[in-house]
Structure 1
Amino acid sequence: MKNSTISYKRHRFPQQVIAHAVWLYFRFPLSLRLVEEMLLERGIVVSYETIRRWGWKFGPAYVKQLRRRRPSQRDVWHLDEVVVSIAGRKHWLWRAVDQDGYVLDELVHSRRDTKAARRLLIRLLKKQGMPPKRIITDKLRSYGAAKRDVMPAVEHRSHKGLNNRAENSHLPLRKRERTMQGFRSAGSLQRFISIFSALRNLFVTPHHKRSALATHIHRVLAIAYWKAVTSAAA
């Protein structure tokens, strides 16, 4: 692991404690107060507000290092959108996942229209570096209009029954939403999911490697990579 721009200078706690707290909060459906209690059981006295600050400060830096890994090479994108209530107003979380259920990108937008779908596709092309063989969506017409504009040669299958991969990808965030009792702003949701999904991508076993041994090996390697990422200080 090359040196990163992550710096733990002027922090009272060592990087292992900070990284562990961030991992607990974003990897599992735990509240900040529960993470505080789990650390206390280990003899680490730290407030939940400090853990919150660690998450917002170090989470994006960790994600930046995780994203240095190669983009997904899978050639089918599943796209879906789900409504999220923020301060009493409807927002839409647009998400793309690949065949293994790995999150490729997410976008929080106030509208459910072609403009938002187009923006998601443009972001995906930039991140992945090449178009997919096929995209699969529900029957929302905005996907078809955006696809014709951004990637007209790509095959598009529009069928609700085919899109279970993307629809199921919303479930982990729904659990977190209930634990956190909602999100305060669209910006906070966008920041949270960027960290949350990056960690989930690292630790969740691919669908084609779901044996007990493969799952164990995958998690051991993921933990080792996480430790390498979070210990690389400038």
Structure 2
Amino acid sequence: MQAPPGRTTPDDPIFLSASLRVLLLKSFCRLHYPANIIAQCVSWYLAYALILRNVEEMMAERGIAVDHYTLHRWVIRLVPLLDMAFRRHKRPVGSHWRMDETYIKIKGQWKYLYRAVDTAEQTIDFLLTARRDAVAALHFFHKAIRHHGEPEVVTMDKSGTNASALTALNADKPDQEAIQLISGKAST
């Protein structure tokens, strides 16, 4: 099946680099559906707040019989590959980061959302955790640095856990290579 004009599919050269396209096409092997159908189902599930049974129903309306459990297997199999592809094409971020955490209620439980942006307000990374402690903050910094490199300056509120995580990162570095910490006012 051909994609409509202006739409890309996983086998389209515009969509991915050659090596990632091969990896993605290998993961489409033995899935018994055309790649564009699988890509459409996974993209609907990820882009909109749909449950898998809704995607199953939408495909049935279009004459394609696919079970919600099959959709679930596609999502589990393809999302890590898509995440890898999208991270490769993400714009580079600045060296001055602003980091903050907040708590939000998800399904009746309080969770902590760590988020960092650069000076151009481009999201660097985020992490959702059950705890707000130095271990979670350190995990967030390691994750962000692994994908974007070390910043020169990090501005954050007066959270002791975030500052202690940054101190732990700087522990084995000489002063000229250490990440500079700027404490802003506490968030209200």
Q: Same fold, TM exceeding 0.5?
A: yes
**Gap regions ≥5 residues in structure 1:** 162-234
* 1:25 aligns to 2:45 (yes or no): yes
Question: Which of 110, 117, 130 is the equivalent residue of 2:137?
Answer: 117
Question: Which of 115, 124, 138 is the equivalent residue of 1:104?
Answer: 124
Report the Cα offset of residue 127 of structure 1: 1.5
Percentage identity across paired residues of the two chains = 26
* 1:41 aligns to 2:61 (yes or no): yes
TM-score between the two structures when normalised by the length of structure 1: 0.57
1:155 match: 182
Higher alpha-carbon deviation: 22-31 or 101-110: 101-110
Measure the CA separation in 2 of the matches of 1:92 and 1:84: 9
Report the Cα offset of residue 51 of structure 1: 0.9
2:97 match: 76
Measure the CA separation in 1 of the matches of 2:119 and 2:60: 40
Measure the CA separation in 1 of the matches of 2:40 and 2:122: 23
SS in 2 for 1:76: strand
SS in 1 for 2:88: coil
2:175 match: none
SS in 2 for 1:57: helix
What are the residue-to-residue correspondences of 1:56-67 with 2, within 5 Å?
56-67=76-87
Report the Cα offset of residue 93 of structure 1: 4.5
Q: Which one has more relative contact order, counting CA pairs under 8 Å at least 6 apart?
A: 1
TM-score between the two structures when normalised by the length of structure 2: 0.69
Report the Cα offset of residue 71 of structure 1: 5.0
Amino acid at match of 1:104: I
Report the Cα offset of residue 67 of structure 1: 1.6
Structure with the higher fraction of residues in helix conformation: 1
Structure with the higher fraction of residues in strand conformation: 2
Report the Cα offset of residue 108 of structure 1: 4.7
Amino acid at match of 2:79: G
What are the residue-to-residue correspondences of 1:139-218 with 2, within 5 Å?
139-151=158-170, 152-160=179-187
Measure the CA separation in 1 of the matches of 2:131 and 2:29: 41
Report the Cα offset of residue 131 of structure 1: 0.7
Measure the CA separation in 2 of the matches of 1:132 and 1:40: 52
CA RMSD, Structure 1 to Structure 2 (Å): 2.7
Alpha carbons of structure 1 residues 47 and 102: separation in structure 2 relative to 1, 3 Å: farther
The count of corresponding residues between Structure 1 and Structure 2 is 159
Quick check: 2:110–2:130 contact (8 Å CA) kept in 1?
Answer: yes
Amino acid at match of 1:149: A
